Amino acid sequence: MRIEPFFDPATFTLTYVVWDPSTKDAVVIDPVLDYDPAAGLTSTTSVDKVAEYLRREQLKLRFILETHAHADHLSGSQILRRHFDAKVVIGERIRVVQETFKQIFDLPPAFATDGSQFDRLVADGEVITAGSLSIRVIATPGHTPACVTYQIDDALFTGDVLFMDDYGTGRCDFPRGSAEAMYESIQKLYALPDATRVFVGHDYQPNGRDVKWETTIRASKARNPQLDARTTREGFVAMRTARDATLAAPRLLFPSVQINVDAGRMPAPHANGHRYLVVPLNVLRPADELGQPVAKPKA
C-alpha cells in the first residue's frame, strides 16, 4: 500500500491518495476545493494536483472518503467524482449535522437531511472494499457527531480528531461537538496496536516547523500535549473547553459547512443565474438589530 499526501497551506489540510501498487485500486481522503472568500471565487488548484497524480500513476479511483463535513475548507469531492466516476463516502451521522445546519442556514424545505446527497453512508465497524483495498470505519465523534476514522491496513486517517503528537486534538466547540465524545473516541484509537500509523487531517506546524502528516499511536500516547495515555477524561474536557473558548472561528466556517453538508455541491443558481452562499449573522455571538452584542439566553 502506498500513501501520497498533498498539503494545502491555505487551510493546513492534508489530502491523501491511498493505493495498491499491484492493482492500481485507489481512494482519496478529504480533497480540497480552493475558495477565496473576499472575491467569492472557487478554483481547483488543490484538487487538480490530486487528479494529475491519479492520472499519472494510472490509478483506478474507487471512493472519495470524507472524514466529516469540514468547517475549514470546501470539499473537492464532486470534482473527483465527475472525472473519475468514484463514489463519495461519509459517516452515517452526517444526518445529524445536516439537521443542525439546515436550521442554522435556513436551507429550503427540500434540502434532504437523510444523507442522500452522498453515494454511501458508513457505520461504525463497517468494512468497505475499494477493489483490493479493505477499509474499516471507526466512528470518532467529538469534533462533529459524524466524524469517522478510516483504517486501511496499519494506517489510520483521523481527520480532525487526532493531530500530530506535538500538537494535540481537534476542537469541539462547533454545534453538536463534544469534548467528552472526543475523549472516548481517542481512547478507541489508543487501544489499537502501538505501531499503528496515524495520518492526520491537518498540520498547523507548531513553532514554525516543517509540515508533518504521519505519527503513531505509540508516539501519541507518549507525548500528545493535549491527550496522552495519562490524561483523564475530566482533565481533557476541562482543557479542551477552556482552549476552545479562546479560538476564533475558522475563516471559511460558513462557506465550508454549507457546501460540505451537501456533499461538496454548489448551491443552485437563483433566477438571475448566480449562485449564493448564506452567511448567518451573529449566530456564534448573539447581537441586537444594530449589531451590539447581547447576552446569550439561558438554556
pLDDT in tens, 38-71: 999 999 999 999 999 999 999 999 999 999 999 9
Specify the pLDDT at position 129.
98
The confidence band for 297, taking pLDDT boundaries of 50, 70 and 90, is low
Contacts of 240 (CB under 8 A, 6+ apart): 169, 171, 172, 179, 182, 226
Give me the amino acid identity at 222. A
Helix axes 179-190, 233-244, angle to 10 degrees: 130
Average pLDDT over residues 134-145: 98
CA-nearest of 3, 139, 142, 147 to 70 is 147
Summarize the confidence of residues 178-186 as an average pLDDT: 98
70-90, pLDDT tens digit by residue? 999 999 999 999 999 999 999
Q: What kind of fold does domain 2-260 have according to CATH?
A: Metallo-beta-lactamase; Chain A (3.60.15)
Q: How confident is the model at residue 210 (pLDDT cuts 50, 70, 90)?
A: very high
Residue 151 half-sphere exposure, CB side, CA atoms within 13 Å?
19
CA distances from 136 to 162, 220, 260 (A): 17, 21, 22
Mean pLDDT for all residues in the chain: 96
Domain ranges of the chain: 2-260
Asked whether residue 285 carries a pLDDT value surpassing 90, the answer given is no
**Per-residue model confidence as pLDDT tens digits over 19-29:** 999 999 999 99
pLDDT at 121 over 90: yes
Long-range CB contact pairs, 294-298, < 8 A, 24+: none
Percent of residues, the chain, with pLDDT higher than 90: 97
Span 153-158, average pLDDT: 98
The whole-number pLDDT of residue 299 equals 55
What are the grid coordinates assigned to 245, written together?
A: 473558548
- At 284 the pLDDT is 84
Residue 201: CA atoms inside 13 Å, Cβ hemisphere, count? 29
Instruction: Say what percent of the chain tops pLDDT 70.
Output: 99
Mean pLDDT computed over 126-137? 98
Contact 140, 181 (CB under 8 A): no
Mean pLDDT of 232-238: 98
| C-alpha closest to that of 74 among 201, 257, 275 | 257
pLDDT value of residue 176: 93
Task: Give CA angle at 268 (263, 274), nearest 5°.
Answer: 130
Question: What's the mean pLDDT in 232-236?
Answer: 98
pTM for the structure as a whole: 0.95
Question: Residue 172 to residues 136, 145, 175, 187: CA-CA distances in angstroms?
Answer: 24, 10, 8, 16
Q: Give pLDDT, residue 104.
A: 93
